[in-house]
Amino acid sequence: MNKRGHVLNALLLAVGLGFVLEPAVDVATGRKIAQITVPIVLGALFPDVDTAFGKHRKTLHSLPVLAVVMAYPIVFDNLQFVWVGVLTHYLLDLIGSRRGIALFHPLSDSEFSLPFGVTTSSKYADLVTVIITALEIAAFWAVHTYVVDLDVDVATVSQAIGI
Protein backbone atom coordinates (compact mmCIF):
# COMPACT_ATOMS: atom_id res chain seq x y z
CA MET A 1 0.00 0.00 0.00
CA ASN A 2 1.21 3.52 -0.69
CA LYS A 3 1.61 6.39 1.76
CA ARG A 4 -1.77 7.88 0.87
CA GLY A 5 -3.54 4.62 1.67
CA HIS A 6 -1.71 4.24 4.97
CA VAL A 7 -2.60 7.77 6.06
CA LEU A 8 -6.25 7.39 5.01
CA ASN A 9 -6.43 4.12 6.93
CA ALA A 10 -4.76 5.60 10.03
CA LEU A 11 -6.99 8.70 10.11
CA LEU A 12 -10.23 6.73 9.77
CA LEU A 13 -9.01 4.18 12.28
CA ALA A 14 -8.15 6.88 14.85
CA VAL A 15 -11.63 8.40 14.59
CA GLY A 16 -13.26 4.97 14.87
CA LEU A 17 -11.16 3.95 17.86
CA GLY A 18 -11.89 7.30 19.52
CA PHE A 19 -15.58 6.34 19.52
CA VAL A 20 -14.77 2.81 20.73
CA LEU A 21 -12.74 4.13 23.66
CA GLU A 22 -15.09 7.04 24.51
CA PRO A 23 -18.50 5.88 23.23
CA ALA A 24 -20.48 8.84 24.51
CA VAL A 25 -20.30 11.47 21.80
CA ASP A 26 -18.98 14.38 23.81
CA VAL A 27 -15.84 16.35 24.62
CA ALA A 28 -14.13 13.20 25.91
CA THR A 29 -14.58 11.54 22.50
CA GLY A 30 -13.01 14.53 20.74
CA ARG A 31 -10.16 14.54 23.24
CA LYS A 32 -9.59 10.83 22.76
CA ILE A 33 -9.53 11.16 18.96
CA ALA A 34 -7.05 14.04 19.26
CA GLN A 35 -4.92 12.00 21.67
CA ILE A 36 -4.62 8.96 19.41
CA THR A 37 -4.68 10.40 15.88
CA VAL A 38 -1.10 11.65 15.63
CA PRO A 39 0.43 8.56 17.31
CA ILE A 40 -1.54 6.21 15.04
CA VAL A 41 -0.65 8.15 11.87
CA LEU A 42 3.02 8.25 12.91
CA GLY A 43 2.93 4.52 13.60
CA ALA A 44 1.35 3.90 10.20
CA LEU A 45 4.13 5.83 8.47
CA PHE A 46 6.98 4.29 10.47
CA PRO A 47 7.44 0.90 8.70
CA ASP A 48 8.08 2.48 5.30
CA VAL A 49 11.10 4.26 6.75
CA ASP A 50 12.80 1.06 5.58
CA THR A 51 12.54 2.31 1.99
CA ALA A 52 15.52 4.49 2.97
CA PHE A 53 17.08 2.54 5.86
CA GLY A 54 17.36 -1.21 5.53
CA LYS A 55 15.47 -3.44 3.15
CA HIS A 56 11.98 -2.35 2.19
CA ARG A 57 9.14 -4.61 3.38
CA LYS A 58 11.60 -6.46 5.57
CA THR A 59 13.56 -4.38 8.10
CA LEU A 60 10.61 -2.51 9.65
CA HIS A 61 7.79 -4.80 8.47
CA SER A 62 8.30 -7.60 10.96
CA LEU A 63 6.66 -8.88 14.12
CA PRO A 64 9.80 -8.23 16.24
CA VAL A 65 9.54 -4.52 15.32
CA LEU A 66 5.86 -4.54 16.30
CA ALA A 67 6.77 -6.17 19.63
CA VAL A 68 9.36 -3.46 20.32
CA VAL A 69 6.86 -0.67 19.57
CA MET A 70 4.24 -2.37 21.77
CA ALA A 71 6.76 -2.62 24.62
CA TYR A 72 7.40 1.14 24.72
CA PRO A 73 4.20 2.13 26.59
CA ILE A 74 4.81 -0.61 29.15
CA VAL A 75 8.54 -0.16 29.66
CA PHE A 76 9.00 3.57 29.03
CA ASP A 77 5.45 4.90 29.40
CA ASN A 78 5.56 6.61 26.01
CA LEU A 79 4.54 5.98 22.37
CA GLN A 80 1.04 4.90 23.46
CA PHE A 81 -1.11 3.87 20.47
CA VAL A 82 1.81 4.02 18.00
CA TRP A 83 1.62 0.20 17.85
CA VAL A 84 -1.91 0.50 16.46
CA GLY A 85 -0.49 2.41 13.48
CA VAL A 86 2.32 -0.10 12.93
CA LEU A 87 -0.09 -3.05 13.16
CA THR A 88 -2.56 -1.52 10.72
CA HIS A 89 0.31 -0.75 8.32
CA TYR A 90 1.24 -4.45 8.29
CA LEU A 91 -2.38 -5.51 7.73
CA LEU A 92 -2.79 -3.09 4.88
CA ASP A 93 0.45 -4.27 3.25
CA LEU A 94 -0.64 -7.90 3.66
CA ILE A 95 -3.99 -7.28 2.01
CA GLY A 96 -3.37 -4.20 -0.11
CA SER A 97 -0.47 -5.59 -2.12
CA ARG A 98 0.49 -8.66 -4.07
CA ARG A 99 4.04 -8.80 -2.81
CA GLY A 100 3.71 -9.23 0.94
CA ILE A 101 6.01 -8.43 3.88
CA ALA A 102 8.74 -10.31 5.75
CA LEU A 103 6.91 -10.83 9.04
CA PHE A 104 9.72 -12.84 10.61
CA HIS A 105 12.67 -10.71 9.53
CA PRO A 106 15.54 -11.01 10.54
CA LEU A 107 14.90 -14.72 11.27
CA SER A 108 13.52 -15.30 7.79
CA ASP A 109 13.26 -13.12 4.70
CA SER A 110 10.23 -14.97 3.32
CA GLU A 111 7.50 -12.50 2.42
CA PHE A 112 3.92 -13.19 3.40
CA SER A 113 0.83 -11.87 1.74
CA LEU A 114 -2.81 -12.82 1.43
CA PRO A 115 -3.97 -14.50 -1.77
CA PHE A 116 -6.76 -11.99 -2.31
CA GLY A 117 -4.50 -8.92 -2.36
CA VAL A 118 -5.60 -5.78 -4.16
CA THR A 119 -2.92 -3.69 -5.83
CA THR A 120 -2.38 -0.08 -4.87
CA SER A 121 -3.11 1.03 -8.40
CA SER A 122 -6.47 -0.73 -8.44
CA LYS A 123 -9.50 1.54 -8.65
CA TYR A 124 -10.83 -0.40 -5.67
CA ALA A 125 -7.81 0.45 -3.47
CA ASP A 126 -9.59 3.19 -1.46
CA LEU A 127 -12.74 1.11 -1.06
CA VAL A 128 -10.70 -1.86 0.17
CA THR A 129 -8.85 0.44 2.58
CA VAL A 130 -12.14 1.71 4.03
CA ILE A 131 -13.52 -1.83 4.36
CA ILE A 132 -10.33 -3.03 6.07
CA THR A 133 -10.51 -0.06 8.44
CA ALA A 134 -14.11 -0.87 9.35
CA LEU A 135 -13.15 -4.48 10.10
CA GLU A 136 -10.21 -3.29 12.20
CA ILE A 137 -12.44 -1.00 14.25
CA ALA A 138 -14.83 -3.93 14.84
CA ALA A 139 -11.93 -6.18 15.88
CA PHE A 140 -10.52 -3.49 18.18
CA TRP A 141 -13.95 -2.99 19.73
CA ALA A 142 -14.32 -6.76 20.32
CA VAL A 143 -10.89 -7.05 21.94
CA HIS A 144 -11.44 -3.88 23.99
CA THR A 145 -14.88 -5.05 25.14
CA TYR A 146 -14.32 -8.75 25.74
CA VAL A 147 -10.58 -9.36 26.15
CA VAL A 148 -8.54 -6.48 27.52
CA ASP A 149 -9.14 -2.79 28.15
CA LEU A 150 -7.03 -1.15 25.44
CA ASP A 151 -7.40 2.27 27.01
CA VAL A 152 -5.64 1.40 30.25
CA ASP A 153 -3.72 3.98 32.20
CA VAL A 154 -0.33 2.64 31.19
CA ALA A 155 1.56 4.46 33.94
CA THR A 156 -0.51 2.64 36.55
CA VAL A 157 -0.02 -0.67 34.78
CA SER A 158 3.74 -0.37 34.61
CA GLN A 159 3.84 0.57 38.31
CA ALA A 160 1.66 -2.41 39.13
CA ILE A 161 3.93 -4.85 37.34
CA GLY A 162 7.00 -3.16 38.75
CA ILE A 163 8.83 -1.82 35.68
Binding site for Zn ion (CB under 5 A): 47-48, 93
Q: Between 54 and 158, name the residue whose CB sits nearer to Zn ion.
A: 54
In the complex, what is the shortest distance from the CB of residue 3 to Zn ion, in angstroms, rounded to a whole number? 9
**HEC string for 31-78:** HHHHHHHHHHHHHHHHHHHHHCCCCCCCCCCCHHHHHHHHHHHHHCCC
In the complex, what is the shortest distance from the CB of residue 61 to Zn ion, in angstroms, rounded to a whole number? 6
Phi, psi of 112 (to 5 degrees): -105, 145
Q: Between 19 and 104, name the residue whose CB sits nearer to Zn ion.
A: 104
In the complex, what is the shortest distance from the CB of residue 21 to Zn ion, in angstroms, rounded to a whole number? 26
CB 18 within 8 A of CB 12: no
CB 107 within 8 A of CB 152: no
Q: Between 93 and 136, name the residue whose CB sits nearer to Zn ion.
A: 93
146 secondary structure, DSSP code: I
In the complex, what is the shortest distance from the CB of residue 89 to Zn ion, in angstroms, rounded to a whole number? 6
- Number of neighbours of residue 91 by Cβ within 10 angstroms: 18
**Rounded distance between C-alpha atoms, residue 137 and residue 26, angstroms:** 19
Q: Between 32 and 89, name the residue whose CB sits nearer to Zn ion.
A: 89
**Rounded distance between C-alpha atoms, residue 75 and residue 98, angstroms:** 36
In the complex, what is the shortest distance from the CB of residue 91 to Zn ion, in angstroms, rounded to a whole number? 11
Q: Point out the residue whose Cβ comes nearest to Zn ion.
A: 93
Q: Between 16 and 47, name the residue whose CB sits nearer to Zn ion.
A: 47
